[in-house]
Amino acid sequence: MKTRKLRNLTVSAVGMGCMGFSHGYGAVPPESESIRLMRSAYEDYGCTFFDTAEVYAAYENEILVGKALKPIRDKIVLATKFMPEVFLPGQEIPEGKTSRKGVRNALEASLKRLQTDYIDLYYEHRVPANRDVAEVATWMGELIKEGKILGWGVSEATSEQIKRAHSVTPLTAVQSEYSIMERKYERDVIPLCKELNIGFVAFSPMAGGFLSGKYSAQTKFEGDDVRRVITRFSKENMEANQSLLDLLNRFAANKNSTPAQISLAWMMCKNDFVVPIPGMRRDERLKENFGAADVVLDKDELVALEKALAKITIHGDRKDSDIQKLGTIKTVAKS
């Protein structure tokens, strides 16, 4: 597969978001199947970038990813995250989670679960508005010097937070939601990343799967599936957003590709420092999503697509607060 640079790290043009193997999107595959799919991503498609977090199913996802990637650890780039001001079992320390000791303890625990002695890319999963991100940047710089991590990042950060953090310890990447259906970071964050040579990692690049065209207004989402509370998946909004899928289907037909591949190629062809990390739990999804790295939209095609998108209104969105109410993140928040 083609590769891209996230500042100091070289990764496959399309990465694998691993959260869905443990929770968040309904029934999960058996452990053996999840491990097979993660290894297939590398062995069959050349994916070298895998993303997890301590908070995904309260450690379970990191443990699973560690088992799957141990045989190929030296061949891939591994990213994980600590969640500030949210305590998981065993993380209650006097200094608090967002402290030098708290961050170090979280990292050491992740290293054990992931069966590795270093993390390529370690994120602050969210940046609290009431704390100075420069503190975390300082601690991350210390961990980089020690070789515990090779680079660091922030998720869902504002442009001001990014500037502040980067001025202390240069950021490797910013990870935030980005797709044809969610483009707010195009206003300031993505241009800033380009200016500062910071990679941008797009989570939910398929808008929770909507852009694949595999779901309809009649689809039922059950259990811990976050799409139960993501408003773009309400019956009314899915019907209202059908015009977007119709547009993607037209472009896909002209490129001998799929709507999913057009959606991923759209962001990759716009900026060479953007790396999408879609979740995928079936062989056909691996083939389709990783195949998007070979779909090229030239300048004229991008202009035409952007003009068509400008005429379409997107209905619904995704809010962290709604997802947390659903209870899919098994955590105990501390004030």
Which of the four pLDDT bands, split at 50, 70 and 90, describes residue 289? very high
Residue pLDDT, tens place only, 79-118: 999 999 788 888 877 677 889 999 999 999 999 999 999 9
Domain ranges of the chain: 3-333
Query: Cα separation of 99 and 139, whole Å?
Result: 9
Catalytic residue among 45, 56, 178, 185: 56
The residue type of 196 is L
Distance CA 140, CA 160 (A): 18
Distance CA 79, CA 9 (A): 11
Q: What is the pLDDT of residues 198-231, one digit of tens each?
A: 999 999 999 988 898 887 777 777 777 778 777 8
Helices (H), 180-258: 189-196, 235-240, 242-255
pLDDT on residue 238? 87
Rg (CA), the chain: 19
Model pLDDT, residue 298: 96
* Region label for 51, one of left (φ > 0), alpha (ψ between -120 and 50) or beta (otherwise): beta
CB 44 within 8 Å of CB 317: no
3-state secondary structure of 144: helix
Contact criterion met (CB below 8 Å) for 124 and 154: yes
For residues 314-331, give the mean pLDDT: 57
The question of whether 56 is a catalytic residue gets the answer: yes
Alpha carbon 320 to chain centroid, angstroms: 14
Quote the CA–CA distance of 248 and 267 in Å, as a whole number.
Answer: 13
User: 0.85 cut: is pTM over it?
Assistant: yes
CATH of region 3-333, choose from 3.20.20.100, 3.40.50.2300, 3.40.640.10, 1.10.1370.30: 3.20.20.100
pLDDT at 324: 53
* SS3 per residue for 17-82: ECHHHCCCCCCCCCHHHHHHHHHHHHHHHCCCEEECCCCCCCCHHHHHHHHHHHHHHHHCEEEEEE
For residues 133-138, average pLDDT: 96
Among the ranges 79-93, 120-134, 160-174, which has the highest mean pLDDT value? 160-174
Q: Comparing 45-59, 127-141, 202-216, which segment has the lowest mean pLDDT?
A: 202-216
